């Protein structure tokens, strides 16, 4: 199965990686929607958040810890930022390997489009 985010995690596809550890990778979004737009992914392939299992609870918490650190490192934590995980077609999910979007550096309206 081809998965571009598995390929990024395996360094088979280039990306601007900003964080990496044994379980996760974070990189800049190729088509940024805000001044700061990064993605945090697990190295393990999980297609959508509906596929997150009970054994993944630590892993998912870890992704949020990484996102918080990236927000702090980029100076957007105090002003505010948005974490997004799209799921399936109506949300606009295009890459079926879960990823947490970190968006910040500008005001974002609510509700989202
Ligand atoms: P989603 O629509 O939630 O599935 O988001 C997928 C995100 O992945 C989009 O914001 C894309 O711009 C981003 N993306 C797709 N391919 C790449 C890539 N090769 N490197 C970095 N970001 C990517
Ligand atoms: Zn994958």
Q: What is the DSSP string of 79-109?
A: T-EEEE---HHHHT--SSS--EEEEESS---
The answer, yes or no, to whether residue 46 has pLDDT greater than 90, is yes
- In this predicted structure, what is the pLDDT of residue 16? 98
Answering whether pTM is above 0.85, one says yes
Q: How does pLDDT run across 13-34, given as a tens digit for each residue?
A: 999 999 999 999 999 999 999 9
Alpha-carbon span 81 to 100, nearest angstrom: 12
Alpha-carbon span 73 to 58, nearest angstrom: 23
**Average pLDDT rounded to a whole number, residues 93-113:** 97
Peptide bond between residue 111 and the one before it cis (omega within 30 degrees of 0): yes
Give the percent of the chain with pLDDT over 70: 99
- Which of 37, 97, 99, 101 does the annotation list as catalytic? 99
- In this predicted structure, what is the pLDDT of residue 1? 65
The ligand 1 site (C-beta within 6 Å) comprises 4, 15, 27, 29-31, 39, 86, 92-95
Q: Tokens in use for 78?
A: 């105090």
């Amino acid at each position: 199965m081809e998965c571009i985010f598995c390929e990024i995690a395996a360094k088979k596809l280039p990306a601007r990686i900003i964080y990496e550890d044994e379980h996760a990778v974070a990189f800049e979004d190729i088509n940024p929607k805000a001044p700061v737009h990064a993605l945090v992914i697990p190295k393990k392939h999980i297609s959508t958040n509906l596929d997150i299992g009970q054994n993944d609870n630590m892993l998912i918490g870890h992704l949020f810890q990484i996102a918080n650190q990236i927000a702090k490192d980029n100076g957007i934590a105090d002003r505010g930022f948005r974490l997004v995980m799209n799921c399936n077609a109506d949300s606009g999910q295009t890459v079926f390997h879960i990823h947490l979007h970190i968006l910040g550096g500008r005001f974002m309206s609510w509700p989202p489009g």
